[in-house]
Amino acid sequence: MERLRTEPRPDWREHVERDLGFVFHTIDDAPYWDETACYRFSESEVDTIEDATGELEQMCLALVDRVVASGEEAYERLRIPRSAWAAIESSWKVGEKNLYGRFDLSYDGSGPPRLLEYNADTPTALFEAAVVQWDWLEAFRPEADQFNSIHERLIEAWRNFGIGRRRLYFSSVKGHVEDAGTVEYLRDTAVQAGLTTDRIDVEDIGWDGRRFVDLENRPIDVLFKLYPWEWLVGEPFGEHLLTGVAKVIEPAWKMVLSNKASLALLWEMAPGHPNLLETSLEPERVPGRVVRKPIYSREGANVSLLQEGRVIAETSGDYGAEGFVYQSYAPLPAFDGNFPVIGSWVIASQPAGMGIREDSTAITRDTSRFVPHFFG
């Protein structure tokens, strides 16, 4: 694994907007999509990442089964509200299918990839990984390969969902450009799979007392929501979703995996596993430097680095009310002052590709750059 400097295409902004529909390529006047560098991997390194991703996904599915079997105590440790327990159990026991997830891994090309966290419910950076970096590969390295079958696997997954002729609605919050881009990309893959689709903002979804409806009062029977379950369960909208009146993607059982307390439960289930970092709900259980993360948080907010219980670095934010997990500190690899995190994707629980986000600090945030990769 190495980081290579590259010369950006002079018209890359115009190209990705016009030809790919990629409009959120710049954040605060700085490139989010970054063509000034790329990462090169060997084929064996890619195999290592793919194998670790597959094993981690199977461990996560085993954890859901374990939590559902354990019941109340496990749900409380995960800080999942009681109102959601029945929906989680029902969705798991009937085998509701999941679409996608992203494992964030620390890996430098030597040793095993280590799990930092699992974005199991509403992961983004999908379009960049599936389409934009593939377009880059064809322009820059047509002779090389890329760990990337995301697009094809998404189409296949939609075909296997059993949606049939029902209209599939895609939703996200109003005014969020990145979320809108992710949802439109997913909708496009569903259309390519032959499904009937529609788009609606979360705020515009109605409830007529019996069912969800769109702005034309048509029933919403199947809903993909790029909106976190932990937010939904505290809202009237979410209470209705929990009744099962509509098929929801991602399914309710993903709540077990979409909070960081699951990292502690994974360690308890498989202590010492080479792809896991020691993690606990109790700070004194993890020796040495510790990363404290809110059980519910996003985009690197409210993350602290602790040394002997003292905060030596932290990020701001509004999370942490539900408590924290404490994870053994694993320094990210550094390449010329850049710290990459590998986002390894699963589609329908199968490893499907990766994207790389890097920052000039060791905490990956929503402004961190997306950098393409290749191997071979």
C-alpha torsion sign, points 208, 212, 218, 219: negative
Residue 305 pLDDT level (bands cut at 50, 70, 90): confident
In contact, 355 and 134? CB cutoff 8 Å: no
User: Is the pTM value of this prediction over 0.75?
Assistant: yes
Residue 17 pLDDT level (bands cut at 50, 70, 90): very high
Beta-strand relationship, 222-225 and 247-249:
parallel
CA distance 206 to 45: 48
The stretch 148-174 carries a mean pLDDT of 97
The stretch 298-311 carries a mean pLDDT of 78
Whole-number CA gyration radius for the chain: 20
For residue 19 the two structure tokens come to: 């030809």
The end-to-end CA distance of the chain, in Å, is 11
- pLDDT value for 237: 82
The stretch 296-301 carries a mean pLDDT of 77
Lowest mean pLDDT among 120-124, 146-150, 235-239: 235-239
- Per the DSSP assignment, residues forming a β-bridge with 369 are 358
CA distance 68 to 46: 33
Q: Residue 28 pLDDT > 90, yes or no? A: no
C-alpha torsion sign, points 230, 100, 338, 14: negative
In contact, 267 and 279? CB cutoff 8 Å: yes
Phi/psi at 339 (5° precision)? -115, 105
In contact, 106 and 130? CB cutoff 8 Å: no
Half-sphere exposure of 168 (CA within 13 A, CB side): 25
- Per the DSSP assignment, residues forming a β-bridge with 374 are 40
Q: Residue 134 pLDDT > 90, yes or no? A: yes
Does residue 42 come out as left (phi exceeding 0), alpha (psi in the -120 to 50 range) or beta? Answer: beta
261-294 confidence digits (pLDDT tens): 999 999 999 999 999 999 999 988 998 899 999 9
The stretch 172-183 carries a mean pLDDT of 93
Q: Residue 320 pLDDT > 80, yes or no? A: no
Looking at residue 333, the DSSP 8-state letter turns out to be P
In contact, 109 and 334? CB cutoff 8 Å: no
Half-sphere exposure of 251 (CA within 13 A, CB side): 19
Cβ neighbours around 194 below 10 Å, total: 11
In contact, 300 and 366? CB cutoff 8 Å: yes
Residue 81, SS3 per DSSP:
coil
- pLDDT value for 365: 67
